[in-house]
């Protein structure tokens, strides 16, 4: 799985549930630690260390590295953005949102608006999430490849907020002939929620997902199916599909998998925040 993360990597249990675990440094992490001995005040080295730790899925440790970078470079947008991303992947959602909003204070940026929207969605702040997604559309709406992913998450805000009128408006931004690049899973979810395909057809596409990232693609499609059942008022079906995603956790740090976990077991994020409070106080 070297294309996405290192073969020597941390587990979901250590990053989300507080299970004690020691992961050996890979060569890149060792190299950066050696460099920091000679340059302990080099904030850019700490950012690189955070990146290397993230490649090993050692997100909790990466947060510490990015924090040290921010201490040395207080106006580091990269430091705040990367730390916010690691807060998001460990479901420390309020901290992630604060970091992304701080990034936004340096100037409007499409990527930050997307990350802010995703975090607000997981915080169940659907109106705020829609505002961020709308800002993304106003900045970079011509990027149809990325627009497909924004439409996907925007629609899910509308589903959760029971906002059918706004949902119709956002769905109108999608066209079957628009360029989507590799975002076929997002497109499948949109087509389901548009009524272009059935849930069974979507599930066939999910099961047919192949390649290294098959569980990532699977989670994106099945998360749309779960929310389709939620929209129809089928609570049991909604939970069933969320559970199906959580059983396939090779890409547990993918956004759809994290959203599924957060929807199904909100106490995980609550406990992550408490552990973060403890770490911050030490």
Rg over CA atoms, the chain: 19
Angle, CA 53 vertex, CA 50 and CA 58 arms, to 5°: 115
Along the 282 residues of the chain, how does pLDDT read in single tens digits? Answer: 357 888 899 999 999 999 999 999 999 999 999 999 999 999 999 999 999 999 999 999 999 999 999 999 999 999 999 999 999 999 999 999 999 999 999 998 999 999 999 999 999 999 999 999 999 999 999 999 999 999 999 999 999 999 999 999 999 999 999 999 999 999 999 999 999 999 999 999 999 987 667 999 999 999 999 999 999 999 999 999 999 999 998 899 999 999 999 999 999 999 998 987 755 544
Distance between CA atoms of 242 and 226, rounded to whole angstroms?
6
Kindly tell me the sign of the dihedral angle through the C-alpha atoms of 30, 82, 279, 13.
negative
Nearest residue to 10 (alpha-carbon basis) of 59, 51, 47: 59
Q: Which CATH number fits domain 1-80: 1.25.40.10, 3.30.465.10, 2.160.10.10, 3.40.50.170?
A: 1.25.40.10
Question: pLDDT value at position 6?
Answer: 83
**Dihedral-angle region of residue 222 (phi above 0 means left; psi in -120 to 50 means alpha; beta otherwise):** alpha
Helical (H) or strand (E) element with 231: helix 214-231
Q: What is the pTM of this model?
A: 0.94
How far apart (Å, rounded) are the C-alpha atoms in residues 202 and 231? 16
Residue owning tokens 């990597």: 9
pLDDT at 280: 53
Cα first-last separation, the chain:
35
Domain residue limits, the chain: 1-80, 182-282
CA-CA distances (angstroms) from residue 239 to 109, 224, 236?
35, 12, 5
* Largest interatomic CA distance in the chain: 60
Q: How far apart are CA 93 and CA 262, in angstroms?
A: 10
Instruction: Measure the CA angle with vertex 88, ends 193 and 80; round to 5°.
Output: 125
Cα–chain-centroid distance for residue 35? 31
Report how far residue 179's alpha carbon sits from residue 173's, in angstroms, rounded to the nearest whole number. Answer: 13
Q: Name the one residue in this structure whose structure tokens are 């497109």.
A: 187
Q: What's the confidence (pLDDT) of residue 1?
A: 39
Per-residue pLDDT at 200: 98
């Amino acid at each position: 799985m070297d294309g996405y993360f290192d073969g020597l990597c941390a587990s979901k249990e250590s990053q989300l549930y507080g299970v004690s675990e020691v992961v050996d440094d890979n060569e890149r992490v060792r190299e950066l630690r050696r460099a920091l001995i000679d340059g302990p005040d080099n904030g850019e080295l700490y950012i690189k260390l955070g990146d290397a730790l993230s490649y090993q899925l050692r997100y909790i440790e990466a947060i510490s590295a990015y924090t040290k970078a921010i201490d040395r470079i207080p106006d580091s947008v990269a430091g705040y953005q990367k730390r916010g991303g690691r807060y998001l992947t460990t479901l420390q959602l309020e901290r992630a949102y604060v970091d992304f909003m701080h990034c936004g204070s340096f100037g409007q940026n499409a990527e930050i608006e997307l990350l802010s929207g995703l975090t607000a969605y997981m915080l169940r702040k659907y109106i705020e999430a829609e505002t961020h997604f709308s800002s993304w559309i106003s900045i970079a709406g011509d990027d149809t490849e990325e627009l497909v992913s924004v439409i996907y998450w925007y629609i899910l805000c509308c589903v959760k907020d029971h906002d059918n009128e706004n949902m119709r408006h956002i769905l109108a931004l999608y066209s079957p002939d628009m360029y989507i690049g590799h975002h076929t899973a997002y497109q499948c979810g949109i087509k389901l929620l548009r009524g272009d395909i059935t849930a069974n057809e979507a599930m066939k596409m999910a099961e047919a997902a192949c390649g290294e990232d098959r569980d990532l693609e699977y989670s994106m499609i099945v998360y749309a199916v779960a929310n389709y059942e939620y929209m129809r008022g089928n609570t049991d079906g909604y939970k069933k599909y969320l559970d199906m995603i959580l059983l396939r956790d090779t890409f547990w740090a993918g956004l759809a998998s994290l959203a599924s976990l957060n929807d199904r077991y909100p106490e995980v994020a609550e406990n992550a925040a408490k552990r973060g409070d403890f770490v911050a106080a030490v």
